[in-house]
Amino acid sequence: MEKKIFSGVQPTGNLHLGNYLGAIKNFVELNNEKENDCIFCVVDLHAITLKQDPKVLKNNTRETVATFVASGIDPKKSIIFNQSRVTAHSEAAWILSCVARTGWLSRMTQFKEKAGKDKEKASVGLYSYPVLMAADILLYDATHVPVGDDQKQHLELCRDIAQKFNNDFKIEDFFKVPEPLIQNEFSRIMSLKDGTKKMSKSELSDFSRINLTDAPDQIINKIKKAKTDPLPMPTSKEELKNRPEAKNLIGIYSSLTGLEIEKSINEFSGKNFSEFKENLAQVLVDKIEPISKEIKKLLSEKNFLDEILLDGYEKADKIASIKMKKIHEIIGF
């Protein structure tokens, strides 16, 4: 069965291992499955919920595309474009915001986390961006959306909006109600300095993350200094429950090698962390170094990256415009 897949990544710049294992690696696998019809969007409209430097944002958009391609996404097979270029996204977001209920949005936990204690100063865009996310997905009749734990709630909102629109205008299945593609439990990569916090570019210490542009010696040094506990390597999966740093590092190893978590544990059961870290660092270098070299090469070819974005825009805009015209007819515009 053919799957229509939509997913997006914010152009934050300097993407890291968390972005790769949490999203991009999965995108590559979806891209490589013949029956899948994939659209991967650089969601620059979502990025401006926080203040951005215009020049930096443009460069970050190109860097995100470079990372997609360097990681193995084929722009000839999948559509790659930046969201702001297809104006239907903004228009559909407004229309769907008139369908969505404020009570639904008020339950979104990610807004509470991102806005912090002073919610009064958060932008309206940060509050309502799950509606834009719904528009992104529904414009392309996506049947499946890859989601991690932090996005499950937003996809549920998207499903609710689709169903309410269909019911309100009595048009069954106009908007496809997308199904989640749930990622494995170790797709959420945590900080190398604190196994209870998500790996993030915003964390001050560069030793908290592996950047996709890090050189081999940087990767080795960061893994060597990654926080662990004083106990030896675990002997069972149950032992990971109260050992967040051990769980994170073993999860990274399993995700990169493709081994089940139990097999990774058995491989290093009872050994010292130093031996495990040497193996983990080598696996990371083998995976990240080729991607890093290709990203740097592609970033020197701005015209090539811009051509990918232009080609992707033309394909995406054609699909979105047809859907938008039908929405106009349904509403009475």
Tell me the per-residue pLDDT of 222-252, one tens digit each, with 9 for 90 and over.
999 999 988 889 888 898 888 999 999 999 9
- List, in order, residues 6 or more apart from 55 with CB less than 8 Å away: none
pLDDT tier, 211 (very low <50, low <70, confident <90, very high otherwise): very high
The pLDDT of residue 151 is 78
Q: Which of 58, 114, 227, 237 is catalytic?
A: 114
Q: Is 201 labeled as catalytic in the residue annotation? A: yes
Q: How much is the mean pLDDT over the chain?
A: 92
pLDDT tier, 116 (very low <50, low <70, confident <90, very high otherwise): low
pLDDT tier, 186 (very low <50, low <70, confident <90, very high otherwise): low
d(CA 226, CA 82): 35
Enumerate the domain spans of the chain: 3-188+302-331, 206-297
d(CA 281, CA 219): 7
Q: Is 76 labeled as catalytic in the residue annotation? A: no
Tell me what the mean pLDDT of segment 120-138 comes to.
Answer: 89
The pLDDT of residue 232 is 87
Homologous superfamily of domain range 206-297: Tyrosyl-Transfer RNA Synthetase (1.10.240.10)
CATH 3.30.420.40 for domain 3-188+302-331, yes or no, is no
Tell me what the mean pLDDT of segment 175-186 comes to.
Answer: 84
Whether residue 1 is predicted with pLDDT greater than 70 in this model: the reply is no
**Kind of pairing, strands 3-9 and 179-182?**
unpaired
The pLDDT of residue 107 is 84
Strand-pair partners of 40: 7, 80
Q: Is 197 labeled as catalytic in the residue annotation? A: no
Share of the chain above pLDDT 70, in %: 97
What are the tens digits of pLDDT across the range 45-94? Answer: 999 988 899 999 999 999 999 999 999 999 999 999 999 999 999 999 99
Tell me what the mean pLDDT of segment 191-220 comes to.
Answer: 93
Q: Which of 3, 58, 164, 198 is catalytic?
A: 198
Q: Which of 58, 164, 176, 201 is catalytic?
A: 201
Phi, psi of 265 (to 5 degrees): -65, -45
d(CA 106, CA 127): 8
